[in-house]
Amino acid sequence: MKIKNYTSHGLTIDRFEAIPGQAWCILGSNRSGIDAFVELFSKGKPAEPDQHPRHIQYPENFGIFSFESQQTLFEQELKKDETDFMDRIDPGTPARRFLKSPEAHMDLIRALAMDRVLDQGYRQLSTGQSRKLLLLAQITRGKQCLIIQAPYEGLDAAGCKELDKALSRCHDSGIQLIVTVHNPGDIPFWATHVGVLDQGAMVLSGNKDEVVKKLDRIPETADFKASVLDLGIKPQPDREGRELIRLKNGTAGYQGKTVFKGVDLAINRGDHTLVTGPNGSGKSTLLHLITGDHPACYQNDLKLFGIKRGTGESIWDLKRKMGIVSPDLHRNYIVPGSTLDCVLSGLFDSIGLYTAPSPEDRSRGTAWLERIGLGPDAGTPFRSLSYADQRLVLIARSLIKLPDLLILDEPTQGLDRANREAVLDFLEQVAEEQLSTILYVSHRQDEFRKFFVSNLDMSIAGG
């Protein structure tokens, strides 16, 4: 691969060359130009030479794994969902069908701990498992160069180690690797070279050890403003009712397979709770139970805001008291609409905006876009934003009404370190000011803040 004197779409690269035998890691913050770098390859080689400058020499037989490709597959699976015509949830295409000759690659499949889920449907996989599956899909097709966007996002610590070992094996077998990461701590041990993007330009590139020594020259800035003070928000300690969630001996699964069982969870106001556990242990399924997105919510002894599920309550009345960020919401937010529309939809608990917001609502939405650095993009289609900016918008969407209960399933996925810390700093203020009670799922130990007063470890509840 060779790029020379390239300038387009907010990205400038004077010279970049990755030769066989090298393994590259491209480091950049969310708005550094790193997504534009991936987009250079996301459509494959251009059909017409003039479509791209001749300054780009594409690698032979390359495959790409990106957030865009993951979203495309999800939407394809959504079109094939036959749940409405079945007496059960359609699990989706079996995982093994995404792989070419899986039997010939079982060592690698086992190394990624994916052998036990090959017969599960795509929609039954956790976020981390689905990302590993799509990466395996590229590897099993015999690609000689893999371009991988943010491979560690959505993986637990064990999953990151498994992936590192698998990618190291790929490198040792002669597959060229080019991965992007947002945080210096995610630079893999097997990388031989590092390139650094900042403000739309490749500012450093070369041998990994030499480049890493110079990283402190690149300032980190956050797009998310971490203060609640400029929003004029006041504490609301007088909200009625103390109990938000009570689940006794909870259980849930899919197609007769238990995902978790014996889970007890009690959350009162101010009980900010961290949910941990490995990929596939049922963390997201537990949140689906709480939000009413899993049918087992009616089969469990579950109370939300003091109301027992299955007693004639309206899920929309319950969701008015919730703000939600999750990989599922992100994948499902595929309706047309502007960035401002997306933020405002949080006031109405809808995917898309179907209720006319008041001038005051629009003012609130605009204020939230300013605080995440996207004020000028209020009219930009939400789906046209980068993955990281979409995630910031969804966080603003969940916070705009400061609900009784904030349900956050890996909300900082795809964010760089500065933005991740700014979001967590903001949530810490939300907790201190008693603005909402937070239920938070995370794999990352650097997100385990002191304001979490309890921890539910799902690793002991797996089916």
**Confidence category of residue 47, pLDDT binned at 50, 70, 90:** very low
Q: Is residue 230 scored above 60 in pLDDT?
A: yes
Please provide the size of the chain in residues: 463
CATH class of 229-460: alpha beta
Tens-digit pLDDT profile for residues 351-406? 999 999 999 999 999 999 999 999 999 999 999 999 999 999 999 999 999 899 99
Tens-digit pLDDT profile for residues 105-127? 999 999 888 999 999 899 888 87
Do domains 2-217 and 229-460 share one topology? The answer is yes
Mean of pLDDT values over 209-238: 79
> According to CATH, what is the number of the domain 2-217?
3.40.50.300
pLDDT at residue 310 in the model: 86
- For the purposes of burial, counting CB atoms within 10 Å of the CB of 286, is it exposed (0-12), middle (13-18) or buried (19 or more)? buried
Yes or no: say if 182 and 38 are a contact pair by the CB < 8 Å rule: no
**Going along 52-200, which residue ranges are E strands?**
56-57, 62-65, 145-149, 176-181, 193-198
CA distance 127 to 159: 11
Domain segments of the chain as ranges: 2-217, 229-460
**Confidence category of residue 49, pLDDT binned at 50, 70, 90:** very low
Asked whether the CA dihedral 175, 122, 391, 221 is positive or negative, the reply is: negative
Tens-digit pLDDT profile for residues 303-341? 999 999 988 888 888 989 999 999 989 999 999 999 999
pLDDT at residue 419 in the model: 94
236 Cβ partners below 8 Å, 6+ apart? 402, 434, 435
Mean of pLDDT values over 424-432: 93
**Confidence category of residue 437, pLDDT binned at 50, 70, 90:** very high
**Going along 109-173, which residue ranges are E strands?**
145-149
Residue tagged 């537990």 (tokens):
286
Mean pLDDT of the chain: 89
Closest by CA to 386, choosing from 151, 73, 67, 75, is 67
Answer with the residue of higher pLDDT: 236 or 193.
193
pTM greater than 0.85 (yes/no): yes
CA distance 293 to 307: 17
